[in-house]
Amino acid sequence: MLYTSDEREDLANVLAAIDGLAEGMGLELDIDQRQIDAILRGMRHDFPAQGGENNASAFKKAANFLCYFVANKPVLNPFPVAKVGDLVSRIPNHQNAIVGWHIAIDALHNAKIHRQDCEIALENRISLSRHSYVDVIEAVSTATPSSHFHLVSVLLEQMCYRVNPDASYPSVI
């Protein structure tokens, strides 16, 4: 879904997700396509983890995408208060946080992670309470790749383990 071998496939996948969210909300969205191109280029360039893009986990890839997405702000229209409620509508850049978050967790659903001798699929999708969702949207709405990549990666990883406890390493500290 992301980081495929063809950047145009990434583009089609991202646009399909944004289009689906728009249709599901009954909205038409203005998109700055130059920013989507910048996101897809930026998230592959100089990947911010040891071993680069090819060795990066699903969590790190999803996090890098999410940080670039919210920082580049490709969705130009804030969502109307009639769709997202008063609390979220007051969060600047909420529309890119909502879209970017959806794409990241959709990508992580059924992603494979490596554990020593085996691969495990993240069979259960991240889900949140309304309260936590609003907090997460506010938290990621100002994320940047340079400052927040590692924290967003840890957040996504721990949320995945919350719903897929067998995928986690045992707690030792």
Partner 1 sequence: MRIDDQEGFVVFDNLFSVTRDLGSDETITMQKPAKTPEQKNAKGVFADRTLLEINESAKTAAGRIVNALLT
- The site for partner 1 (CB under 8 A) is made up of 1-6, 8-9, 11-13, 15-25, 27-34, 56-58, 61, 76, 83-85, 87-88, 98, 102, 106-113, 121, 130, 133-134
Least distance in Å: CB of 142 to partner 1?
Answer: 19
Nearer to partner 1, 32 or 92 (CB): 32
Neighbouring CB atoms inside 10 A of 131's CB total 9
**Burial letters 34-69, b for 16+ CB under 10 A, else e:** ebbeebbebbbeebbbeeebeebbbbbbbbbbbbbb
Nearer to partner 1, 61 or 148 (CB): 61
Least distance in Å: CB of 110 to partner 1?
Answer: 4
The span from the CA of 122 to the CA of 58, in Å, is 10
Least distance in Å: CB of 73 to partner 1?
Answer: 12
